[in-house]
Amino acid sequence: MPPGYNGKILRINLSTGSRSVEEPSEVFYRTYFGGRGFNAYFLMKELKPGVDPLGPDNKLIFSTGPITGHPVSGNGRNSVGAKSPLTGAYGEGDVGGFWGAELKHTGFDAIIVEGKSPAPVYLWVHNGEAEVRDAARLWGLDTAPVNDALQAELGDKQLKVAQVGPAGERLVRFAAIMNDVTRAVGRTGMGAVMGSKNLKAIAVRGRKTPPVADREAMRAQAKWLSDNMMELNGGLHTHGTDDGLIGLSITGGLPTRNFQEGTFERAEDITGSTMTKTILTGRHTCYACAVICKRIVKTGPPYNVDPAYGGPEYETCAALGSCCGIGDLEAIAMGNQRCNAMGLDTISTGTVIAFAMECFEKGLLTREDTGGLELRFGNAEAMLQTIELIGKRRGIGDLLAEGVARAARQIGRGAEQFAMHVKGQELPMHEPRIKHGLGLGYSVSPTGADHVHNLHDTDYEVEGSPRFEAAKSLGILEPVPFNDLGPEKLRLFIYHVNWQSLMNCVGLCIFPAWRYLRTVELVRSITGWNTSLFEMVKVGERMNTLCRAFNVREGFSAADDTLPERFFQPFADTKPTTAPLDRRVWEQAKLAYYYGMGWDENGVPTRDKLGELNLEWVIEEMEKAAIPLP
């Protein structure tokens, strides 16, 4: 087994109580790397087509990567995969904190959870051992009390907990899994899958660090980023991810009032620097990371925000703030606390509330529908009450807990035009009319709209910008305008999106300034593999194609790779001067992406491409499901 890994995968069946340990070959590890690679492999290999995402036959996979758990900045991530109850497609959420590193230290690289327990349970995984324990007394509790209770029961303040809150227990389709109370596996409803299995939590504790091939080389890389952190990532450290909110508003790229506008008149009130000056009480980090970008906030009356639940990041400030027309930072912090306590994805939560607000203002929802709530843009109290209703599936919250796509279909009367989603997943807080490649990325993403395994066009339009300079190692030698979707942008898009998929395999955060070549050197120093930028980009391509094959088998096609009509129309406000997406150009770019990936005009991977990517076994899986391949 190569250094960097434990060489062991734990499998737990909650229906039977059985436990087993698998030891894959080094070829398996180097082919799939970890994270998304492990998730996609096991889901494609072991799930039957058409499986109910909330049924016992779905599998929930917690995966680390080769960098996870080693003392370098950005290493503290793990990935969680299952068939998504929100989209019905490949589901995955990636998360930071300490839990992933601690799992790696238990002696396991991944946990595969199968079946459904007849009663609430939690897993206790420690130093190569695994136990299934009763969780009846924990069911229904918010995340912070559960974290404290498990640390007390197991007698160890240093153990780490991944858990669902009441939202996951109630199968809210965008429920999150919360690591360390404040870090969310937010996207695609992994919390609902965990709740459907009656699995409340997984507590982990270990003291086994996997071996490293070249410890001095790894330490030199870690020291480089630590020594240069303020120059490379100082803005993140000082003001967090929310530091960029004001810039997005100035340039017209801040989602406002359910993406109707791109500029928010109260942006200054909810940006990162304002948070630093007002409600910030501390900063927190993930395992061994020098960037220390996480926020800790506290407020007095009327909200009395508890610092135990951390603080809001950019996506939350925009989703619960500008997207809902709300400029009250303390109310947003309270909304973040309620989401973290109940285990809700703040992105989907904010977007679904913004959808409901627009429906209310357009007369498609009434006070009778909302239980008396005046669900209008700018109403902070209504936003906070709606979060509670969603997490508890009460009143209007029961409808919204299904996500915007299902809610819009149930409301009808044209509500679909206000539902900002792709494949059923709500859009993150980045505007496709400002970043045209990002819009393409939303449409073709295997998980529905996602901003992380995607291209942010504005990073590559100026000569000398850090990300553009790094992209020269991929052969991207000239800047590309943010609103371009021609061949130059498609080349950048394919290379970069495949790389982002690779990042979800290695277990490395995108925020520390490692970029391409230093990431390659990190993997080399830890694993001892003579890997290259070429090999690692191909791993990302392999995973994007494997996820695509999974979705094709589940019935998805090019027709599902779409965008809300709103993004082909101008902003409602006049300040942004950029033109909306052009549908003809966008359709051409989508087709060019398919061909560039070795797929056919319907987005189906070809036999030749599957063979070239060492995925011949997928051909057999598709044939079993009677899926024709070009």
Phi, psi at 503, each rounded to 5°: -60, -30
Question: Are 149 and 143 a contacting pair, CB within 8 Å?
Answer: no
Question: Are 376 and 359 a contacting pair, CB within 8 Å?
Answer: no
Say if residue 190 is in the same domain as residue 260: no
Q: How many CB atoms are located within 10 Å of the residue 22 CB?
A: 14
DSSP H helical segments within 507-582, as ranges?
Answer: 515-527, 533-553
Q: Could you tell me the two tokens for 462?
A: 């100026």
10-residue mean pLDDT series, the chain (630 residues): 94 96 97 98 98 98 97 96 98 97 97 98 96 98 98 97 98 98 97 98 94 96 93 92 94 96 97 97 95 96 97 98 98 98 98 98 97 97 98 98 98 97 98 96 98 94 90 93 93 97 96 94 97 97 98 98 96 77 96 97 97 97 95
CB contact burial 306-333 (16+ within 10 A = b; e otherwise): bbbbbbbbbbbbbbbbbbbbbbbbbbbb
Query: Per the structure, how many domains does the chain have?
Result: 3
220 part of a folded domain: no
Distance CA 213, CA 207 (A): 19
Say if residue 177 is in the same domain as residue 256: no
216 part of a folded domain: no
Say if residue 176 is in the same domain as residue 265: no
431 part of a folded domain: no
Examine the fold and report which residue of 426, 451, 480 is the final residue of a domain before the chain moves on: 426
564 part of a folded domain: yes
CATH of the domain at 588: 1.10.599.10
Say if residue 479 is in the same domain as residue 452: yes
Residue with tokens 């995968």: 9
| Nearest-10 crossing angle of helices 329-342, 346-361 | 120
What is the structure's pLDDT at 574?
Answer: 63
Examine the fold and report which residue of 401, 426, 451 is the final residue of a domain before the chain moves on: 426
What is the structure's pLDDT at 416?
Answer: 97
Examine the fold and report which residue of 426, 460, 483 is the final residue of a domain before the chain moves on: 426
Give me the domain span that covers residue 51: 9-205
Q: How many CB atoms are located within 10 Å of the residue 441 CB?
A: 27
Distance CA 431, CA 262 (A): 8
Say if residue 417 is in the same domain as residue 442: no
Indicate the residue type of 267: A
Distance CA 211, CA 5 (A): 7
Cα angle: 494, vertex 176, 540; to 5 degrees: 20
Say if residue 30 is in the same domain as residue 94: yes
Say if residue 350 is in the same domain as residue 391: yes
Say if residue 474 is in the same domain as residue 545: yes
Residue with tokens 């898009």: 493
221 part of a folded domain: no
Residue 261 gets which letter from DSSP? B
Say if residue 67 is in the same domain as residue 19: yes
Question: Are 210 and 104 a contacting pair, CB within 8 Å?
Answer: yes
CATH of the domain at 391: 1.10.569.10
Alpha carbon separation from 52 to 82, 83, 89 (Å, rounded): 11, 8, 11
87 part of a folded domain: yes
449 part of a folded domain: yes
Say if residue 310 is in the same domain as residue 416: yes
212 part of a folded domain: no
Question: Are 53 and 83 a contacting pair, CB within 8 Å?
Answer: yes
Which residues, in sequence order, are CB contacts of 316 under 8 Å at separation 6+?
332, 335, 336, 339, 346, 347, 350
What is the structure's pLDDT at 573?
Answer: 76
Say if residue 148 is in the same domain as residue 195: yes
Say if residue 444 is in the same domain as residue 418: no
Alpha carbon separation from 489 to 476, 583, 593 (Å, rounded): 9, 16, 10
CATH of the domain at 116: 3.60.9.10
What is the structure's pLDDT at 388?
Answer: 98
What is the structure's pLDDT at 581?
Answer: 94
